[in-house]
Amino acid sequence: MPKQALQFLNEMDISVWQVRQTEYFATLENSTISLPETCQLLFIASAVPTERDAFLFGKVLASMKLLPEQALFLPSESLEYVAEHHLTWCWFSGVAITELEGVQTLSSPPLSEMHTDTQSRRDLWRQICSYDH
């Protein structure tokens, strides 16, 4: 990636990014994704949560005693590039689970479906509580 583009991302305080159309960057190699030390939960989904989804996501984080700054979104196809991390949780929302050693794993339907599905919210809560032992 050109140095100017990296500088631009840095100025916008973007430390985690993904090139979606790698065919335009022939010299770009698949590299690792470095997560900040403050990241405790990685939210893996096929799409970025909407504003409505963010409200539910915030409620779940609060129940886990986590702040929004301690969570990051990552598309499922990028998980294999995660380098060394300090994660406690990995939440797979509507995508297949990939186990990360030493990380507590949660699985749920997509957030967009959970707004009206009380059972899926209960199931997620039970998963969270199962790690409290």
CB burial string 35-47: b at 16+ within 10 A, e below: beeebbbbbbbee
Query: What pLDDT does residue 17 have?
Result: 60
Quick check: 30 pLDDT over 60?
A: no
* SS3 assignment, position 41: strand
Query: What pLDDT does residue 108 have?
Result: 96
Write out pLDDT tens, residues 33-91: 888 889 999 999 988 888 889 899 999 999 999 999 999 999 888 888 888 888 999 99
Q: How far lies 15's CA from each of 2, 6, 88, 114, in Å?
A: 16, 10, 20, 30
- The two three-digit tokens of residue 97, written as one number: 């689970």
Q: Which domains does the chain have, with CATH numbers?
A: 32-130 (3.40.50.10220)
Quick check: 23 pLDDT over 70?
A: no
Q: Which helix (H) or strand (E) holds 106?
A: strand 104-108
* Top-confidence residue, 47 or 26: 47
R_g over Cα of the chain: 16
* Top-confidence residue, 23 or 76: 76
Report the alpha-carbon distance of residue 89 to residue 23 in Å, rounded.
33
Write out pLDDT tens, residues 86-117: 899 999 999 999 888 889 999 999 999 999 99
Q: Which residue has the tokens 């963010």?
A: 54
Closest CA to 36 of 73, 74, 86: 86
Query: What pLDDT does residue 47 have?
Result: 85
Write out pLDDT tens, residues 31-41: 678 888 899 99
Range in 6-15, 35-44, 111-120, 122-131 with the lowest mean pLDDT: 6-15
